[in-house]
């Protein structure tokens, strides 16, 4: 009885509005997963603004714990495998190859090419966001490039300039080491590959097949390990120091230089004012250099039933003012040129150091092994080398073997 009434009603509506498309009447809901560093920040405002502009789309934003990357990824893989995944999510390069291999991603090329905001994102960023198969699956959302923090006041005491190449870096690190202070806050613990790559690939070696065991990479890696073993310009805790430790040690004045990125710039300025600055990471003798690019991207999953709506949301997020608003919450840099022009969230010198590093910015190989490299293989082998349990060259051979067999 009731069903018939409903059906009649539906038929009546359809008959009354023959021109209305059924899709336009039923709002679609898309699920979006994100992770923010600051639990006090929420994307609610952004979602509300988007829904107002796009009345047909509802965004269910879900905050997933990052958990060193592992928790977020495990949750993501589990739900994709169980066919219960979100329509779109924040993702990182180290998972790109795996997600492609799972056929979990929708290529975005046709949308990107028709998207008016495309030219507001630099070619450097689009280059980095291109997958090995030449397609683009990830949408740039936020970024950082790793740079070198330097305590200017401590350098001035030693009459030293800000180091620009590896020789000067070593001289400075040695001069700044003494007593309860170390020249370089090395990160041997989790996530440390980011601040190791500028050393290993700083003199021209490339993170690609054969690159890990090329003479240049081997020599540079020995240089890196020797900072700890030979020159002792790093705290004894360096093998397991992770980001919390290197940042706190810098803030506490226990180390004079460290490699990190703009997300910590404001707290450094709070602590040291003008006595701290950031510069691009040291370069090799021929001007070569490697600045690790840290991405924050979005994607559309192939299992999504509403891929167009999902694309609308992520492209909206990467558009000029929206992206600025988004990055205020995320604490990183906007990917749009228009937004960067009036960037006021971080002091200019840190933005400059980041932007100047973009031309030499690079990432790890996009392979299914990359996630394992960053989480297990890099820390294990590097820590062993730092503790003298294996030779630096063995560590590089292990990496080459992991990636290229």
- Contact status: 243 vs another protein (CB under 8 A): yes
Task: Select from 44, 45, 53, 71 the one that contacts another protein (CB under 8 A).
Answer: 71
Q: List, in order, residues 6 or more apart from 140 with CB less than 8 Å away.
A: 121, 125, 126, 129, 295, 297, 318, 335
Instruction: Single out the residue of 56, 117, 253, 347 in contact with another protein (rule: CB under 8 A).
Output: 253
Q: How far apart are CA 46 and CA 329, in angstroms?
A: 10
User: How are beta strands 28-34 and 57-63 bridged, if at all?
Assistant: parallel
Site string for another protein, 217-236 (x = CB under 8 A): ------------------xx
The number of beta carbons lying within 10 Å of the beta carbon of residue 114 is: 8
Tell which residue, 245, 292, 314, 377, has the closest CA to residue 88: 314
Give the C-alpha separation, 304 to 310, whole Å: 8
For 151, the enclosing helix (H) or strand (E) is strand 147-151
**Binding segment toward another protein, per CB under 8 A, in 55-63, 113-121, 150-158, 336-344:** 55-63
Asked if 106 touches another protein (CB under 8 A), the answer is no
Taking Cα atoms as reference points, which of 130, 122, 145, 131 lies closest to residue 335?
122
- Cα–Cα dist 403/337, whole Å: 35
Token pair, residue 331, equals 């604490």
Q: Which is nearer to another protein, 75 or 231 (CB)?
A: 75
In the bound complex, what is the minimum distance in angstroms from residue 317's beta carbon to another protein?
A: 18
Q: 351 and 340 in contact (C-beta within 8 Å)? A: yes
Contact between 113 and another protein (CB under 8 A)?
no
By CB under 8 A, the residues from 295 to 354 that bind another protein are 331-332
Contact call for residue 40 and another protein (CB under 8 A): yes
Spatial contact of 140 and 335, defined as CB atoms under 8 Å apart: yes
102 binds another protein (CB under 8 A): yes
Q: Hey, which residues between 351 and 380 contact another protein (CB under 8 A)? A: 368, 371-372, 375-376, 379-380
User: How many CB atoms neighbour CB 401 within 10 A?
Assistant: 13
- Window of 118-126, 127-135, 154-162, 381-389 that interacts with another protein by CB under 8 A: 381-389
Binder of another protein out of 39, 116, 287, 405 (CB under 8 A): 39
Q: Name the minimum Å distance from CB 89 to another protein.
A: 13
Q: What gap in Å lies between CA 77 and CA 395, rounded to an integer?
A: 29
Pairing of strands 255-260, 57-63: unpaired
- Contact region with another protein (CB under 8 A), list: 43-51, 160-168, 305-313, 385-393: 385-393
Q: Is 274 in the site for another protein (CB under 8 A)?
A: no
Among 99, 121, 150, 367, binds another protein (CB under 8 A): 99
**Which residues here bind another protein, judged by CB under 8 A?**
35-40, 60, 62-63, 65-71, 73-75, 77-79, 81-84, 98-99, 101-102, 144, 180, 188-190, 235-241, 243-245, 248-249, 251-254, 261, 263-264, 270-271, 331-332, 368, 371-372, 375-376, 379-380, 383-384, 386-387, 389
């Amino acid at each position: 009885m009731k069903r018939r009434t409903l059906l009649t009603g539906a038929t009546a509506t359809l008959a009354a509005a023959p021109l209305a498309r059924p899709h336009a009447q039923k709002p679609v809901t898309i699920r979006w997963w994100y992770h923010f560093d600051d639990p006090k920040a929420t994307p609610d405002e952004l979602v509300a603004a988007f829904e107002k502009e796009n009345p047909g789309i509802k965004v269910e934003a879900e905050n997933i714990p990052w958990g060193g990357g592992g928790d977020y990824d495990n949750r993501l893989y589990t739900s994709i495998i169980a066919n219960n995944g979100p329509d779109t999510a924040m993702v990182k390069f180290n998972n790109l190859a795996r997600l492609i291999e799972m056929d979990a991603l929708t290529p975005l090329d046709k949308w990107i090419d028709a998207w008016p905001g495309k030219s507001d994102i630099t070619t450097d960023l689009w280059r980095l966001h291109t997958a090995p198969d030449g397609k683009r699956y990830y949408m740039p959302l936020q970024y950082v490039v790793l740079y070198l923090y330097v305590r200017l006041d401590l350098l001035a005491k030693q009459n030293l300039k800000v180091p620009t190449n590896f020789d000067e870096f070593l001289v400075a690190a040695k001069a700044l080491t003494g007593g309860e202070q170390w020249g370089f806050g090395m990160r041997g613990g989790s996530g440390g590959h980011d601040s190791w790559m500028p050393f290993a690939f700083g003199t021209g070696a490339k993170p690609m097949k054969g690159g890990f065991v090329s003479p240049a990479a081997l020599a540079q890696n020995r240089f890196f390990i020797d900072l700890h073993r030979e020159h002792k310009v790093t705290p004894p805790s360096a093998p397991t120091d992770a980001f919390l430790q290197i940042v706190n040690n810098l803030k506490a004045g226990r180390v004079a230089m460290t490699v990190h990125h703009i997300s910590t710039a404001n707290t450094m300025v709070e602590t040291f004012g003008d006595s701290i600055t950031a510069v691009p990471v040291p370069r090799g003798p021929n001007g070569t250099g490697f600045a690790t690019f840290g991405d924050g991207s979005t994607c559309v999953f192939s299992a999504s039933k509403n891929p167009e709506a999902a694309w609308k949301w992520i492209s909206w997020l990467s558009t000029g003012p929206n992206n600025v608003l988004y990055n205020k919450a995320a604490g990183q840099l906007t990917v749009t040129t228009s937004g960067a022009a009036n960037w006021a969230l971080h002091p200019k010198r840190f933005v400059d150091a980041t932007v100047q590093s973009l031309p030499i910015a690079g990432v790890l190989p996009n392979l299914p092994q990359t996630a394992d490299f960053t989480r297990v293989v890099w820390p294990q082998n590097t820590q062993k080398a730092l503790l003298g349990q294996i030779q630096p060259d063995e560590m590089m051979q292990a990496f080459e073997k992991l990636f290229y067999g």
